[in-house]
């Protein structure tokens, strides 16, 4: 695969923590290519390096070694300013803990990345309204995060991640704080994004989330130990899961 054909590409990726005898390789010589429009799930035990990998792919952490390419551009060599611009334009983040600004309404939280990227307030507001409608929260646009349920806050976080129409969305345990109903709502949203051609990389312990991906990678001790192409469509698998829940 050509570098420009991949949403994300890494070669020989290494991330170490600590020094001397306490030095640990959180990510150990990982190679990965994720084509545009693919949904990749990453699973593994706690402490295996999943979240560190996601942070490296999104430029939230610097690698100790190796290369990271996003949208055909090498990002591990960028300055902090250029890296921040890349994150705003090319990557959306969804975290388990939501990380919404509590003093801002749902709409204002979604507007924020667009404003930081230089869009006018009018453009940002229009985009926020469209995205909140897309995730089923148009009626809650003026509510503060404290006035929303956990599932609603996570949907706001997804809308915020899409504010600048990023090439790739990185989600770290997006259903970890959600009940069964809210988790299924989140799966439906991710499947809609997948059907629309969005590139998703999702770190998860939830087998329901992993089952809706195109591809599943398993990690252990900082390394990939399995890489499986999943059969069938995400929508079909999701429909089966919803049927089982019902």
- Delineate the domains of the chain, giving CATH numbers in brackets: 3-245 (3.40.50.300)
Residue 210 in 3-state DSSP?
Answer: helix
Give one DSSP letter per residue of 77-137, joined into a string.
TS-HHHHHHHHHHHEEEEETT----TTS-HHHHHHHHHHHTT--HHHHHHHHHHHHHHTT-
Q: What is the pTM of this model?
A: 0.89
136-145: per-residue pLDDT in tens?
999 999 999 9
Both structure tokens of 116: 């930081």
Rg, Å, the chain Cα set? 18
Contact at 8 Å (CB) between 70 and 168? Answer: yes
CA distance 191 to 39: 9
Both structure tokens of 78: 């960028």
77-106: per-residue pLDDT in tens?
999 999 999 998 899 999 988 999 999 999
CA distance 173 to 143: 24
In the chain the beta strands, taken as DSSP E runs, fall at 6-17, 24-35, 39-43, 65-70, 73-74, 91-95, 168-172, 199-203, 215-220, 223-229
Beta bridge partners of 16: 25
Residues 6+ apart with CB under 8 A from 115: 121, 124
126-184: per-residue pLDDT in tens?
999 999 999 999 999 999 999 999 999 999 999 999 999 999 999 999 998 899 899 98
DSSP 4: G
What's the confidence (pLDDT) of residue 3?
A: 54
């Amino acid at each position: 695969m050509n570098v420009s054909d991949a949403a994300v590409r890494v070669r020989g990726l290494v991330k170490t923590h600590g020094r001397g005898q306490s030095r640990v390789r959180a990510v150990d010589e990982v190679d990965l290519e994720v084509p545009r429009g693919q949904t990749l799930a990453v699973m593994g035990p706690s402490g295996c390096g999943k979240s560190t990998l996601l942070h490296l792919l999104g430029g939230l952490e610097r690698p100790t070694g190796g290369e990271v390419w996003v949208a055909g551009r090498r990002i591990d060599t960028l300055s902090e300013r250029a890296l921040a611009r890349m994150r705003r334009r090319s990557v959306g983040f969804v975290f388990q803990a939501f990380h919404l600004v509590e003093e801002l309404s749902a709409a204002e939280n979604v507007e924020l990345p667009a404003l930081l990227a230089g869009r006018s307030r009018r453009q940002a507001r229009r985009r926020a309204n469209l995205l909140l409608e897309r995730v089923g929260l148009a009626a809650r646009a003026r509510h503060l995060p404290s006035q929303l349920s956990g599932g609603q806050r996570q949907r706001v976080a997804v809308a915020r991640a899409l504010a600048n129409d990023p090439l790739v969305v990185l989600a770290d345990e997006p259903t970890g704080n959600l009940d069964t109903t809210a988790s299924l709502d989140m799966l439906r949203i991710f499947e809609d994004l997948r059907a629309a051609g969005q590139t998703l990389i999702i770190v998860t312990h939830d087998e329901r989330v992993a089952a809706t991906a195109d591809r599943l990678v398993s990690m252990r001790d900082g390394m990939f130990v399995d890489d499986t192409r999943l059969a069938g469509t995400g929508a079909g698998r999701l429909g089966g899961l919803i049927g089982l829940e019902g």
